[in-house]
Structure 1
Amino acid sequence: MAGLLLAPLLAACGAAGPGDDAPSAGSVGAAPAATSWAPAPRRAQGLRVLAESGPRGFALHTRSGAKTFLPGINLGSSTPGHQPGEVQHIDAATYRGWFAQMHALHIRVVRSYTLHPPAFYDELARFNRAHPSSPLYLVQGVYLPLEDYNQPGRTLYTRAIDTAFTRELRQVSDAVHGDLVRPAVPGAAGGTYRTDVSPWVASWIVGVEWDPVGVAQTDRAMKRAAYRPGRYFAAPRGATATERWIARHMDQLATAEAKRGVSVPIAAANWPTADPLRHPTEPLASEDAVSVDAMHLLPTRAWPGGTFASFHAYPYYPDFQRSEKGLDATRWEGEPDRYAGYLRSLQRHFASRMPLVVSEFGVPSSIGSAHDGTRGRDQGSHSEQEAMAMDASMLRMMRSLKLAGGFVFSWEDEWFKRTWNTMEHTDPERRQLWHDPLTNEQWFGVVATDTEQVPDAAAELVPTDGEVEYVHVWGDHSFVHLEVTGRERTPTRLALDADVVPGPERADYRLRLDREADTAQVQVRKALDPIRLDTPGVPYRPDADAEWHDYALITNRSLQGRPAEFDQVGRLVRGSWDPEDPDYDSMATWTVDDAHRTVKVRLPWSMLGLADPSARLALGEGSPAERVTIDGIDLSLDVDGTPAQLDFTWPTWTRVGYTTRLKAGTDGLAEAYRDLAP
């Protein structure tokens, strides 16, 4: 391995100058005069080098000098109503709109995890030619087409897995250079790629978040597999079988790019589960069982683009961040910050060879949460303003730590996503048809995807006497809305019983709202409590034997003597959920409109036990839970002593309606992008 050496980082040069198309003033604030981000590639080893990365850091060569920090955004491959494998449905107009919005937010780099349809590359080139001094650079990903290397008897070296990745690497390289024709097949983009976007490719990130079971199987079974170092990338002595496999495929991509005459950094995806550090306080053995070390995936002298360590690193998982000794020695914004401490420990590990890029991070603006995080950065239960402020702060933190980049996850909310503490409550085949407020993974976007009312999903009641003048119930693709108007005054106390699944019980879920006490609580009948599905612990919560349970999500199972942790999502939040309201709070689920004598409540479908409202599929009893197709929900109300009854039903659906908008608080994130990439 004597030939292994990271390419030296060339000194930055070039006169700074104003961009010819600096973003204008708008809803996210006016930008100062910007320096030019026009590409200014160098020549090295006979190759065109737009960017390079090594011991001295990262450098993207532009006309105004080297840009050493990439503040970016991750772009997924789905829109509401679609699974990610249906990427082919995204059209040119959608990409055109996205790129314009990114530009207005001062975003300089977009990361794609996989190959998009030709329209993505056509529109990216069109946009960049129209904005030569402030183009949108691309970090292109290459996903593993077959991910079953963690199944019994299989490894990364399994022929089908190995050859599929080799083919994908070469084809994505061809597509980026505008030289590919391949059919679109389920799960992958295709078409005729004739647009060369390589002048704006800042780097590549290949592979996946490596599964610990699959890595362990590969390392054991293929420990003595033959290995020959590549011309451009090689694994040194002592590398694991997994690392040798990744290095070989990084070399395949570099070979394809070198044939096109270009070299930029190539990195492998990774995450804390497979980081090279030891975490003795981690309570889950699987989260510290294997290592995939970028220090064993090294470029040779022939590859001037170099490499970097790429990590999907979030501030709330794994658990070692909350307890590991020494992480709180790093401070941010005047406080000890364990997330910053973890990033610094990673950075120190790689510093002698390469910089660190946090290629995925963020917090979601969901009502539900799945884990407690550092300094309140939980995996959910954040308003939009809180989530955007946290993302902006973490992006600035990464620059302050002298990392080479930070990529916010993600551009737009993704309805198809699942998370561990709600996935057993829902139908995995149809998650993309509704937007579950309790599934945090669906709410990471900078762009909100607001649901529209489901057609014909409404019921009303107009009593002729009593305290209640009008009751209106209706549904959108996230919530069931209940609006109760008093005859003479605004209701003070409201009790709602919801009979969802067939059986002798007259209520399966219930709401108790008291306006004077300023409280509203949702409860679930013991036999239907979904927490029973998410943990093997018995009893699974302190009040497990009570007939009614306050609706909650479990956010951490009981581990190594530590008590289980819960998110009390059934404790409803009072406020306005109108995005046009200056006091808008995306966490709000009940409000009072005294001008119209009305109390309004919105309950997530999942908080009423729907596993799939689009098919009227409810979560039944048992473990695993029975799935029950229902006709509707019987609602019994008591409003200040006046009873009311109505049936709420709705049609099934296979198409969704939605609108998009920038989330509240995005102006602060845009300011961070602007400051970090002027």
Structure 2
Amino acid sequence: MRKRLKLLIKIGFFVAIVAGAFYYWVRPLLVRIESTTLASGIHVKFKTEGTNVEEYTNEAWQPYFAKGINMGATIPGHFPGELAISQDDYARWFGMIQDMGANVIRVYTIMMPEFYEALAKYNMKHQKDPLFFLQGIWSPEEQLIEGQDAFDPKIKSKFEQEIKDAVAAVYGKTTLTPEPHSGKAGGVYKYNAGPYLMGWIVGTEWDPKMVKGTNDAHADTPDYAGKYFRNKPGANAFEKWLALMVDTAAQTEVQYGWQHPMAFANWVTTDPIAHPGEPLVEEDLVSVDPTHIEAADWEAGYFASYHVYPYYPDFFAFDKSFQEMTNSKGEPDSYLTYLNKLKAAHPNIPVMVTEYGVPASLGVAHLGTLGRDQGGHSEQQQGEIDADLLQEIHGSGYAGAILFTWQDEWFKKTWNTQRYDEADRRAYWYNTLTNESFFGVLGMFPGKDEAIHIDGDAADWNKLKDKKKLDVQAPGFEEIWATHDEGYLYVMAKLSEPFDPSKESIYFGTDTLPGGNRHGPELHGMTLDEGLETLIQLSDDKKSRMTIASNYDIHARLYERSGLPDIDPKEKQDDSGIFKPWKLAVNYLLEYPDSRVNHPFGDVDVGILERGYSDPSRPDYNSKAMWQVQGQVLEMRIPWMLLGFSDPSSLSVINYMPQSKNKFEVTHVKGVRFVPWIVKNDQVVGREGSAPAQPVQVSAMPLYTWQGWEDKVNYVERPKQSYYIMKEALQQIHGPVTPTQQPGS
């Protein structure tokens, strides 16, 4: 009996192990989601019908509006392709995204396995209301631009393999080798996220010169008639290539027992609409028309996907033919007009705007109409603009609107700051002048975001362990303290008497390098033994700003031969005594024949320092607040790049050396010196009468220095004001609508 009992226990133990192992390997496939099944046994959850997308739910097909958000692939301190985002991060984010009112996440490329596992697990717990996703497939962008020929066998083969890898990853049936340097994810993909897929978006934004090069080189290429997709008569060569790629995705997916709606990525630059008022020829050079491709035998259907921002290309601001429609406020609205013209150009298929939005950043890269610039917005302004754009997209009859983006991405670059920083260090600091990093509604703030609030109260400084007192002897200042994080250099000063910005000004000169201004009107007769690179003036709202020594003005040095008006030779001299506004370019000088019309160089002042409160719990919170004073306590935070830093994590600043091939040389410095003074009644406090005979000893002033950080960053994750504004806007939308207004009406 005992032997039988032992045998039964062993058998039971073995069965338990086998069952556990079976469950472990099979559970990713145990997905229950309502879908319809074709006669062939293929499952379909979403399909296109006319100009709508439909979802199969409650045993019927229902119109569906994709209220989505794009999601990046990494977090601060990491570049794409690095294993950085955990399952716990994803699970938390998915809950926040659904709570915001979104029903779809769009990703651009194959994500790490953790994404698909986390989504499958999340949706297993939310079977009645799952969170869907749009899967993008990254095209070999660099090779396409370099080769200018999409039919190059190496490019074609590489993209086809990427498509097959993406489909296998979504359905949990592959192992991929990661390529961190190229940003490609990898690992063991075993969780089946396919049932939660809403659709596929093949490729990335297409370079117009590459498209034209492909068309010119392959004008006689035959039509593509695939098993599931084909091009229509009149398609150009690149569109035939795209038909092949979309069909490759379909042929690969059907092997896993599913069909989902298909699209390819597109943007305004290669849309099928003429932009007669667009200055740049390249922005209206060639069309990639989604209506030139059709489904031959694909029940899930086909849709168009466009990235549409209100500030790029420039015709949004300059082309009067795109200002025919007025919005709900009665304003001529080029974005609304464009949406309606684009929709009219795709009469028989659904169209989604799969990128839209503006960033909350100090930096600006393009100017739009109605204040919809690429940057320069507070979190509140970002949310209000994003909500307006969403309502216009929805009201124009689109099938979906996917906001760009979920989380801030420190590693990103922008055309007008990328020459000022170090490419391999961007992920390790928070550069608020690089607008591209701050489109997120989930903010990724520098490490002291919760420790220091700019509010004119020194209480939070008393809790800091890493602050440093600067032994600066200056009339009007009792104490000066400094600290820093990944985004800012912070200063707190206790003044001898309350500060009235309407009657006096506080100046902080900063010194990082030998050279710069040792005199100037702002010094009111003082002279220094060492020059200043930048100068901060705090007074009333119109005058508070940071300026830069004219011979250190990196903006002027970069664009002197690219459209800026002639620079006075005096400004190039050391100790010119001239401080210039801190500017960023927003458009190049455009001239015929590269441009249809001549258009002047454009730039904006980004050194304006707003007074306000940076505490997000306050009703008067301003995410752009850089200084505040209450009585005798002054607080400010200074963005690193405004101080000339190309990488604060290695104490690297742009130096005075001439640039080489549009790249500035950098110098590793020991830190920053501050030179403070107060001007009252047009006189420096403590220096009545004539200017002192001896220069102020800047070189003897204490240096604020810090230990550099390599790849370990601290950051604070916090929803922006824009998150809550978008939450309200998204929750008011329940399905697609039919537009009632047409362009020009």
TM-score of the aligned structures, taking structure 1 as reference length: 0.89
Deviates more, 1:158-167 or 1:265-274: 158-167
The superposition leaves residues 221-271 of structure 1 with CA deviations (integer Å, 9 ceiling, x where unpaired) of: 233345541111111232222111111011011011122222111100011
- Write the mapping of 1:569-588 to structure 2, written as runs, cut at 5 A: 569-588=606-625
Check whether the contact 1:107–1:673 (CA below 8 A) recurs between aligned residues.
yes
Amino acid at match of 1:658: Y
After TM superposition, give the deviation of residue 171 of structure 1 in Å. 1.5
Give distance in 1, aligned partners of 2:411 and 2:324: 38
After TM superposition, give the deviation of residue 626 of structure 1 in Å. 2.2
The superposition leaves residues 21-40 of structure 1 with CA deviations (integer Å, 9 ceiling, x where unpaired) of: xxxxxxxxxxxxxxxxx954
- Write the mapping of 1:96-111 to structure 2, written as runs, cut at 5 A: 96-111=91-106
Check whether the contact 1:372–1:379 (CA below 8 A) recurs between aligned residues.
yes
After TM superposition, give the deviation of residue 543 of structure 1 in Å. 6.7
1:637 is paired with a residue of what secondary structure?
strand
The superposition leaves residues 392-417 of structure 1 with CA deviations (integer Å, 9 ceiling, x where unpaired) of: 12112111111000000100000011
Give distance in 2, aligned partners of 1:533 and 1:426: 15
Deviates more, 1:665-674 or 1:648-657: 665-674
After TM superposition, give the deviation of residue 311 of structure 1 in Å. 0.6
The superposition leaves residues 108-162 of structure 1 with CA deviations (integer Å, 9 ceiling, x where unpaired) of: 11011111111111111111121122210111111114522111x5522222221
In structure 2, which of residues 644, 649, 653 is the aligned counterpart of residue 609 of structure 1? 644
Check whether the contact 2:200–2:260 (CA below 8 A) recurs between aligned residues.
yes
> Where does residue 525 of structure 1 map in the other structure?
549
Identity %: 32
> Where does residue 667 of structure 1 map in the other structure?
724
Amino acid at match of 1:150: I
Amino acid at match of 1:601: M
Give distance in 1, aligned partners of 2:176 and 2:598: 54
> Where does residue 84 of structure 1 map in the other structure?
80
- 1:629 and 2:668 are equivalent in the alignment: yes
After TM superposition, give the deviation of residue 202 of structure 1 in Å. 0.8
- 1:268 and 2:246 are equivalent in the alignment: no
After TM superposition, give the deviation of residue 104 of structure 1 in Å. 1.6
- 1:501 and 2:482 are equivalent in the alignment: no
> Where does residue 246 of structure 2 map in the other structure?
250
2:732 is paired with a residue of what secondary structure?
helix
Amino acid at match of 2:278: E
> Where does residue 181 of structure 1 map in the other structure?
175
Check whether the contact 2:308–2:355 (CA below 8 A) recurs between aligned residues.
yes
Check whether the contact 2:477–2:493 (CA below 8 A) recurs between aligned residues.
yes
The superposition leaves residues 407-430 of structure 1 with CA deviations (integer Å, 9 ceiling, x where unpaired) of: 001000000111111111111111
1:215 is paired with a residue of what secondary structure?
helix
Amino acid at match of 1:609: G
1:345 is paired with a residue of what secondary structure?
helix
After TM superposition, give the deviation of residue 536 of structure 1 in Å. 5.9
Check whether the contact 1:458–1:649 (CA below 8 A) recurs between aligned residues.
no
> Where does residue 156 of structure 2 map in the other structure?
162
After TM superposition, give the deviation of residue 472 of structure 1 in Å. 1.2
Deviates more, 1:323-332 or 1:425-434: 323-332
> Where does residue 381 of structure 1 map in the other structure?
376
Gaps of 5+ in 1: 1-37
Deviates more, 1:621-630 or 1:533-542: 533-542
> Where does residue 292 of structure 2 map in the other structure?
296
After TM superposition, give the deviation of residue 464 of structure 1 in Å. 7.5
Check whether the contact 1:146–1:164 (CA below 8 A) recurs between aligned residues.
no
After TM superposition, give the deviation of residue 499 of structure 1 in Å. 1.8
2:401 is paired with a residue of what secondary structure?
strand
> Where does residue 489 of structure 1 map in the other structure?
498
- 1:556 and 2:587 are equivalent in the alignment: yes
Check whether the contact 1:147–1:161 (CA below 8 A) recurs between aligned residues.
no
Give distance in 1, aligned partners of 2:565 and 2:359: 25
After TM superposition, give the deviation of residue 511 of structure 1 in Å. 2.8
1:84 is paired with a residue of what secondary structure?
coil
TM-score of the aligned structures, taking structure 2 as reference length: 0.81
> Where does residue 630 of structure 2 map in the other structure?
593
After TM superposition, give the deviation of residue 528 of structure 1 in Å. 2.2
Amino acid at match of 2:718: R
2:258 is paired with a residue of what secondary structure?
coil
After TM superposition, give the deviation of residue 503 of structure 1 in Å. 3.5
1:214 is paired with a residue of what secondary structure?
helix
> Where does residue 108 of structure 2 map in the other structure?
113
The superposition leaves residues 30-85 of structure 1 with CA deviations (integer Å, 9 ceiling, x where unpaired) of: xxxxxxxx954234463322111243422122228513311100000010011113
Computed over aligned residues only, the root mean square deviation of the Cα atoms, in angstroms, reads 2.3
> Where does residue 540 of structure 1 map in the other structure?
564
Check whether the contact 1:509–1:522 (CA below 8 A) recurs between aligned residues.
no
In structure 2, which of residues 703, 724, 728 is the aligned counterpart of residue 647 of structure 1? 703
Give distance in 2, aligned partners of 1:535 and 1:287: 22
Check whether the contact 1:532–1:540 (CA below 8 A) recurs between aligned residues.
yes
After TM superposition, give the deviation of residue 493 of structure 1 in Å. 2.5
After TM superposition, give the deviation of residue 542 of structure 1 in Å. 7.5
Deviates more, 1:283-292 or 1:412-421: 283-292
The superposition leaves residues 620-672 of structure 1 with CA deviations (integer Å, 9 ceiling, x where unpaired) of: 23233222222222222213535783312222112110011110242221122
In structure 2, which of residues 389, 394, 401 is the aligned counterpart of residue 406 of structure 1? 401
The superposition leaves residues 506-552 of structure 1 with CA deviations (integer Å, 9 ceiling, x where unpaired) of: 33433343436763121112232222365464661587665321112
Check whether the contact 2:535–2:548 (CA below 8 A) recurs between aligned residues.
no
Check whether the contact 1:526–1:544 (CA below 8 A) recurs between aligned residues.
no
Amino acid at match of 1:633: V
After TM superposition, give the deviation of residue 165 of structure 1 in Å. 1.1
Check whether the contact 1:460–1:646 (CA below 8 A) recurs between aligned residues.
no
Give distance in 1, aligned partners of 2:560 and 2:294: 43
1:522 is paired with a residue of what secondary structure?
strand
> Where does residue 371 of structure 1 map in the other structure?
366
Higher Cα Rg, which structure: 2
The superposition leaves residues 467-489 of structure 1 with CA deviations (integer Å, 9 ceiling, x where unpaired) of: 21110122111111122211343
> Where does residue 35 of structure 1 map in the other structure?
none
After TM superposition, give the deviation of residue 89 of structure 1 in Å. 2.3
> Where does residue 64 of structure 2 map in the other structure?
68
> Where does residue 135 of structure 2 map in the other structure?
140
2:531 is paired with a residue of what secondary structure?
coil
Gaps of 5+ in 2: 1-31, 450-463, 518-529, 572-577, 591-596, 680-684, 687-695, 736-745
- Write the mapping of 1:396-435 to structure 2, written as runs, cut at 5 A: 396-435=391-430
2:721 is paired with a residue of what secondary structure?
coil
Distance 1:637 1:650, change over 3 A: same
Give distance in 2, aligned partners of 1:529 and 1:516: 24
Amino acid at match of 1:513: Q
Deviates more, 1:234-243 or 1:312-321: 234-243
Distance 1:246 1:518, change over 3 A: closer
Give distance in 1, aligned partners of 2:199 and 2:430: 33
Check whether the contact 1:45–1:304 (CA below 8 A) recurs between aligned residues.
no
Give distance in 1, aligned partners of 2:210 and 2:51: 34
- 1:469 and 2:478 are equivalent in the alignment: yes
Distance 1:182 1:461, change over 3 A: closer
Give distance in 2, aligned partners of 1:599 and 1:555: 33
Amino acid at match of 1:343: L
Give distance in 2, aligned partners of 1:272 and 1:218: 19
Check whether the contact 2:270–2:288 (CA below 8 A) recurs between aligned residues.
yes
Check whether the contact 1:70–1:677 (CA below 8 A) recurs between aligned residues.
no
Check whether the contact 1:207–1:269 (CA below 8 A) recurs between aligned residues.
yes
1:378 is paired with a residue of what secondary structure?
coil
Give distance in 1, aligned partners of 2:393 and 2:407: 22
Check whether the contact 1:457–1:651 (CA below 8 A) recurs between aligned residues.
no
Check whether the contact 1:156–1:242 (CA below 8 A) recurs between aligned residues.
yes
Check whether the contact 2:516–2:549 (CA below 8 A) recurs between aligned residues.
no
2:586 is paired with a residue of what secondary structure?
strand
> Where does residue 344 of structure 1 map in the other structure?
340
Check whether the contact 1:636–1:646 (CA below 8 A) recurs between aligned residues.
no
